[in-house]
Each structure stands twice: as C-alpha cells, then as structure tokens.
Amino acid sequence: MISAAIFIVLEIAALAMLSRSSSKQNIWLNQLSGSVNAFLWGGGEKIRSHFMLQDQNDELVRINAELQARLQAYENAEEAAQEQAATQSLVGDSRFKYTSATIIKMSRNTAHNYIIINKGWEDGIKEQSGIISDNGVVGIITAVGRHQAYGITMMNNKLRISTKVGREGIDAPLMWDGISPDGAIVDDIPPHYEVAVGDTVRTSGYSSLFPAGIALGTTVESRLVDGSKKQIKVTLFQNFKTLHYVTVVENLEREEIMALEEQGGYQ
C-alpha cells in the first residue's frame, strides 16, 4: 500500500517536473489530461443519461399527449369549419334551423340501417328532425342523447319521405328499395300520371321534417303495379359510402303544426 502511494507520488512528481521543464511535453500532457477528462466526464454523462432514461421517457410521453391534444384541437376546428361550410350551402328556409354535424357511426349493410352523429340535445338537436346533406336526404333523428343523436337513414325500410315527382309535381312517398345504397322507389302514383325517365324527385315539404325542394334523385323507370298504381324506380343522389358531414334540420314550427293537427283530430 505504501509502495503504491510512493509510486503514485513519484510519478506525479516526475510528470510535474516534465510538464514544467518542456513545453512539448507540457502540451502533450495537457492534451492527455483533456482526453482523460473527456473520457471520464463523457462516461459519467453516459451513465447519468442511462439512469435518466425513465424520466426522459415520462417527459416524452407527457409531451406526446400534449401534442396529440393540440393536434386533436386543430382537427376539431377544421372539422367544425367543414361542417359549417357544408351547412352554409343548405341554409335557405327561415322556418328551419340548421345544425352541422359529423357522422360518428353509420350502418349500411342491414335492412334497418342507422346513423349516429356527434351532436346531441346540448347542441340543440331534437327528435324528429331531418338529416340532410348536399346530395339530399340522409335520414331522421329518432333518439337524442347529450352529445350524440341516433337516427334511421334512407337505407332503412321504415323511413318514408314525402316527395314531388316530375314537372307535374306529383306527391308520393319515397322509400328505399332495400337492395342498393342509391336505389329508392316512389310508390302510390296514380296510373294516369306520366313520369319521364330522368325527372328529378324532390322533397315536398309536407312532412314538416324537411324543407321543400331538396333534390333526392332522378327517376329511372316506372311500372304499373296491380293495375291501380305506378311505382317508379329512383336513383338517389346521396352516396352513403362517402358521406361524412351532415346537417340536421329542425322545423321551428313543427310543434305548432302538431298542435294544430291534434286540434284537428289528426293523429
């Protein structure tokens, strides 16, 4: 132990003398010292970094969550702007209130397809409001939650919409044909009315759910059913496969209309 101490002392003394007596050795020793220091400090820093990885990971997770929240906020803002833009093109009738919404979920593969949108009663959505888009009617709201609303779509055989067909404006109900996403049938047209292929089918406005004049589709062919009525096949403008933004239309006079219907004895 004493020998080791003496060895270290003597070597240090020799180096000190060497450093003072020769500038070449002095520079070299300084460089050597710098290299040793860099190695030791670098090694220490590496070890410290290794043990700080957990903290760094936690910090990265926190930053990641913060960035995701900010990104979500931007996406929400963009979505709201797109919803608003989609609604602007539909606003026309002052008796109706228009609320933009985004589809959360929509079924397309059953006979009773439904839709869920991202607006609920907190956003002013009410039951028995219509759902429309740029390309026509989408469906009807049947249930409303706080932040979401549920409805049935055109691709549901329970839904019937009052329409006007052709130049003559024949009033008849339209329903889904139950086969294709863009196929519908207008039923109960008196046989003496002539409907040309390519005529536009529009909402009549009689149902109090939808404003009048919303283009739904064009007629494809007509046929006589049971010899007493005509049935017209319609190709809808609505493309349910690409649908993402919708507008909920609420008839502001609906309650008054219903009250009148009640008074008049219509149920």
Q: Which residues bind to another protein, rule: CB under 8 A?
A: 2-3, 6-7, 10-11, 13-22, 24-25, 27-28, 31
Residue 35 or 37 with smaller CB distance to another protein: 35
Residue 21 or 267 with smaller CB distance to another protein: 21
- Per the listing, tokens 């003072």 go with 20
Q: How far is the CB of 2 from another protein (least distance, A)?
A: 6
Question: What one-letter code names the amino acid at 246?
Answer: V
* Closest CA relative to residue 257, chosen from 213, 207, 211: 207
Residue 12 or 65 with smaller CB distance to another protein: 12
Q: How far is the CB of 31 from another protein (least distance, A)?
A: 7
Distance of alpha carbon 154 from alpha carbon 178, whole angstroms = 10
Residue 12 or 259 with smaller CB distance to another protein: 12
Residue 10 or 65 with smaller CB distance to another protein: 10
Q: How far is the CB of 39 from another protein (least distance, A)?
A: 17
Q: How far is the CB of 36 from another protein (least distance, A)?
A: 14
Q: How far is the CB of 10 from another protein (least distance, A)?
A: 5
Q: How far is the CB of 69 from another protein (least distance, A)?
A: 56
Residue 25 or 142 with smaller CB distance to another protein: 25
Length of the chain: 267
Residue 18 or 185 with smaller CB distance to another protein: 18
Distance of alpha carbon 267 from alpha carbon 263, whole angstroms = 10
Q: How far is the CB of 59 from another protein (least distance, A)?
A: 43
Three-state DSSP state, 56 = helix
